[in-house]
Amino acid sequence: MAGRKTVLEVLQGKAVFPPPIWLMRQAGRYLPEYRETRAKAGGFLDLCFNPDTAVEVTLQPIRRFGFDAAILFSDILVVPHALGRDLRFEEGLGPLMTPIAASEIERLDGSRFHEKLEPVYETVRRLKRDLPAETTLIGFSGAPWTVATYMIAGQGTPDQAPARLFAYRHPEAFAKLLALIADWSADYLVRQIEAGADALQIFDSWSGVLDEAAFQAACVAPVKRIVARVRESYPDVPIIGFPKGAGALYGGYREQTGVTALGLDWTVPLSQARHLQKAGPVQGNLDPLRLVAGGRALAEGIDRILDELGKGPLIFNLGHGITPETPVEHVEEMIARVRGRTKR
């Protein structure tokens, strides 16, 4: 398959077997070369905003494993950071921000938005130049709901209660916040396409904490807004939507938002995944802990996915990001098993 962008072929609706592979968070702490680069880079934001280091860590898993796609190394919270919100990362705590008040939403400042994000665009341009011809380059952003949860709480929380309460208590301000994040995220994604991204992914990591009405308002509507705005400029660039934890609400997500493909978390039953695949490409959905465990657990998880979804348009991936404790040799086992499979 040298020279073929098989990830793009799948996103165009073609069944490719064995399916192309990439992993969410494939550039990360499970790799010794990543840990070495990060130690030299300084803080996490320094790593993201320095094109030299961001390109290097994006390329590391491509060099080591030959994944079929590379995803831009950055963070979903660079968008609110570029809108003037403070952001820092602390070891063991993750991202920390000053919680936004309802009265502050109108004062979000996008006057230097693209200037602040220029290092990200430069990273994309260099990756487009340096990646193998057959490797799809994926740009990304966080979905407005997930980004808003961090802006409102100031940090990650187990059930996003601060953001949910904010939405109930300040519905107009909350709707305004989602709309602003959606519009700036769309502009950010368009710039990534212009810099060389072949496809996009929108991460909605906290979709699973919402009831049905809130899911429609906070997850579906803002992502639909992003997709429509991106497609005004680039109608043919495929977009993967990943509403993690959406469960039964996965069913109408593609049609309601307009995304090209569905990223499936590991809790989605393969019978449901097979039904979703009838409407278009799916991506996923190996439990990341099977990759940590290796051996029989890993092999059985891979085989079930390939048996159930391998005949349709499938991008093989995890059901969430790879974890830091994952052994590198287990990733090698996974790739060998997927790529060594024949149709049954």
Each residue of 294-329: pLDDT tens digit?
Answer: 999 999 999 999 999 999 999 999 999 999 999 999
Using the structure block, give the residue that is written with the tokens 């803080």.
43
**In the prediction, which pLDDT does 281 show?**
98
Instruction: Quote the CA–CA distance of 179 and 171 in Å, as a whole number.
Output: 12
For residues 39 and 334, the answer to whether their CB atoms sit within 8 Å is no
Which domains occur in the chain, in start order? 6-340 (3.20.20.210)
**In the prediction, which pLDDT does 297 show?**
98
**In the prediction, which pLDDT does 344 show?**
63
Active-site residue 29, yes or no?
yes
For residues 74 and 44, the answer to whether their CB atoms sit within 8 Å is no
Q: pTM of whole model > 0.85? A: yes
Q: Which of 30, 34, 38, 198 is catalytic?
A: 38
Q: Which of 30, 68, 75, 126 is catalytic?
A: 75
**In the prediction, which pLDDT does 147 show?**
98
For residues 70 and 129, the answer to whether their CB atoms sit within 8 Å is no
Active-site residue 75, yes or no?
yes
Burial class (CB in 10 A: 0-12, 13-18, 19+), 125: middle
Active-site residue 38, yes or no?
yes
- Residue ranges for the chain with pLDDT beneath 70: 1-2, 343-344
**CB neighbour list of residue 37: distance below 8 Å, 6 or more residues apart:** 47, 53, 56, 57, 60
Using the structure block, give the residue that is written with the tokens 């190394």.
73
